[in-house]
Structure formats: C-alpha cells, structure tokens
Amino acid sequence: MEKNVINTDLSGKTAVVTGAGGVLCSYFAKVLARAGAKVALLDLNEEAAQKFADEIVAEGGVAKAYKCNVLDKDNCYAVAEAVCNDLGPCDILLNGAGGNNPRATTDKEYFENGDIEADTKSFFDLDKSGVEFVFNLNFVGTLLPTQAFARQMVGREGCNILNISSMNAYTPLTKIPAYSGAKAAVSNFTQWLAVHFSKVGIRVNAIAPGFFATKQNAALLFNPDGTPTARTGKILAATPMGRFGDSEKELCGAVLFLLNNDAASFITGVTLPIDGGFSAYSGV
Ligand SMILES: NC(=O)c1ccc[n+]([C@@H]2O[C@H](COP(=O)([O-])OP(=O)(O)OC[C@H]3O[C@@H](n4cnc5c(N)ncnc54)[C@H](O)[C@@H]3O)[C@@H](O)[C@H]2O)c1
C-alpha cells in the first residue's frame, strides 16, 4: 500500500467517485478508501466498479459499487439516494467519468491541401453525434452528478467536489477538438461552481493531469525494446521536467491535498496542473 503522502484523514467521510471502473478513478477510489473514506464507486460498467469495490473491501476498506449513468439525471438522483442510505450523505464527489471518442478525432495533426478528397478523417468529417457525445460525457456528465450529490452537501461544512480536467483545457492538443473544448468547459465550470457554492461550505477544485505512463498506454509510449516512441519524444521534449508523472504518487498526492480541509481550506476554484511544467512551457 502506498503511503498517504500528505496524511489526509478522511475517516467518517462518504466519498463518491464517478467513472470508478476506469483506470485513474479506480485508483483514486482506492486512495480515498485508504485515507479512511467510505467509498461509493459509480460507473456505467457495473462489473468494473464492483471489481474495484471488492478489492477495496479485501484491503479492509469500506466500498460499494453502483451502476450509474452520469448522463441520466433521474438515475443520478436515484443512486444519490441509495448511496446516502447505504453510506451516509456525500462529503466528497470526485467527478471522474469522462473521455474522448474516435468520432470526434481527426486523423492528422495538420490539415493539408488534398485532405478533403483523400481517405483521411479531416476536420470536415468530424461526426456531429461524436462531438456531442464527448461534450456531454465530460461536461454534462460532471454537472448532473454534481446536482444529485451536492444537495447532500449543502449546509454541512467541509464538503468537496473535485473535477477532472486535462492539459488540453489550457492549450488544445492536436486531433481532439471536442475533448479539448469539453475539458476547457470543465475547468470553467469548476470556477463557476466554486463561486456559486462558496457560502455553503463546499470547496470545488479540479486536477489537470499531464502525461503519465501507465500499463494502459505503455504500448503507445514505448517500443517493445523499451526505447521511447516518436510520441514519447514529443511529450518529453514539451515537459520541462523531462519525464512522465507517477500516477500513483503524484496524481494521488494532488487529489489528497485538494481534499484536505486543513492543508487546502482556502483553496477553491483552481484547476491544478500536475504536469512537470508542460502547461507552463511555450516550447522555446
Ligand atoms: N488517462 C489520462 O491520461 C487522463 C489525462 C487527463 C484527464 N483524464 C480524465 O480522467 C478521467 C478518467 O480517465 P481514465 O483514463 O481513467 O478513463 P477510463 O476510460 O479508464 O475510465 C472512464 C470510466 O468512465 C466510465 N463511463 C463512461 N461513460 C459513463 C457514463 N455515461 N456514466 C458513468 N460512467 C461512465 C467508463 O465505463 C470508465 O470506467 C476522465 O475524465 C479523463 O478524461 C485522463
């Protein structure tokens, strides 16, 4: 078990994590449980959420999985009621469900003459429903669970909402216009919510992960012989610290810091980049 780098104690708190069947949020769910929280793992993929809930319980933590579609308001409200009955009112909401879709992604980084006729998916071929899917999942999928769970926070001190933005919210990455715009909207919404809830004891922040090497993206980042791929070369050249982040230590440290009501008690409305300087660097 990794040590809780900043000794955040979440004992007695109820934490809700959406997208908890996924790569990063299953990990965040475990970290919150290890800090003492009772954790509700919400995901469209109930089996995945259940697997990680079982792992938390096997470690001695308190966790329960729920099937939840963050795009269905009634479903979010029904799950919020179930979580409250099972684990108590929500103190922490981590809005983790999100992601991109190939239908909203161009094949090439730069548009060139001839691309309209060529067999390539250019800007002009982006699919409207794919763009809407990505906007909805990241933005509406943050707003609806917040409506459902923040009701339980109102008037109770020390509650927190943590959203997940991205590097592309600052400056869009190539090929993914909808995902970049949607994450910019998540950062903007984080500020809006922080102001809106500032009088009722709810802090609202976000993290913006930079580039992290995980088992899932290893094949994209490293050749079978362990040498870096061309993409890795570009990422590391644009990251002043010259390395990938360590998701277990460096992302979780930021999550625990922002949720810590002693260390971060006067912090609300920020999107914290965890990126080795990527978002600060102009490339020159
Ligand atoms: N992986 C990264 O490097 C990275 C970087 C920056 C930001 N992020 C963001 O972090 C978050 C988690 O990313 P990840 O890489 O762990 O993604 P992931 O794809 O592994 O997990 C996403 C989870 O969300 C669930 N989900 C999808 N649609 C849903 C819906 N409608 N209702 C409920 N659950 C739904 C999926 O079933 C999946 O389990 C996302 O918001 C992502 O945009 C990831």
- 169: three-class secondary structure by DSSP: helix
Residue 107: Cβ within 10 Å count: 13
- Rounded to whole angstroms, the Cα distance separating 206 from 73 reads 22
Distance from the alpha carbon of residue 136 to the mean position of ligand 1, in angstroms: 13
Residue nearest to atom 38 of ligand 1 (CA): 22
Length of the chain: 284
Q: In the numeric block, which tokens belong to residue 15?
A: 């934490």
From the CA of 97, give the closest atom in ligand 1: 24
**Residue 221: its pLDDT value, please?**
85
Q: In this structure, what token pair is assigned to residue 52?
A: 């990680």
**Encoded tokens for 47:** 């089996």
- Among candidate residues 77, 110, 179, 281, the one labeled active-site is 179
Q: How many CA atoms lie within 13 A of 18 on its CB side?
A: 33
Neighbours of 211 (CB within 10 A): 19
Is residue 179 annotated as a catalytic residue, yes or no? yes
Query: Is 137 touching ligand 1 by the criterion CB < 6 Å?
Result: yes
Q: Is 145 close to ligand 1, i.e. is its CB under 6 Å away?
A: no
Residue entry with tokens 């009701």? 151
Give the Cα separation of 23 and 192 in Å (integer): 28
- Cα-trace Rg, the chain: 19
Got the DSSP string for 240-266? TT-S-B-IIIIIHHHHHHHH-TTTTTT
Q: Is 163 in the pocket of ligand 1 (CB under 6 A)?
A: no
Give residue 222's pLDDT: 87
Residue 74, both tokens: 């009634």
> Do residues 126 and 177 make contact, with C-beta atoms less than 8 angstroms apart?
yes
Looking up tokens 């999550």, which residue turns up?
Answer: 255
- Give, as one character, the DSSP assignment of residue 226: S
Distance of CA 199 from the midpoint of ligand 1 (Å): 30
CATH topology of domain 14-210+245-274: Rossmann fold (3.40.50)
| Per-residue tens of pLDDT for the chain, all 284 residues | 455 667 899 999 999 999 999 999 999 999 999 999 999 999 999 999 999 999 999 999 999 999 999 999 999 999 999 999 999 999 999 999 999 999 999 999 999 999 999 999 999 999 999 999 999 999 999 999 999 999 999 999 999 999 999 999 999 999 999 999 999 999 999 999 999 999 999 999 999 999 998 777 877 788 889 888 888 999 999 999 999 999 888 999 999 999 999 999 999 999 999 999 999 999 99
User: Distance from the CA of 98 to the center of ligand 1, in angstroms?
Assistant: 4
- Does the CB atom of residue 144 touch ligand 1 within 6 A? no
182 lines ligand 1 (CB under 6 A): no
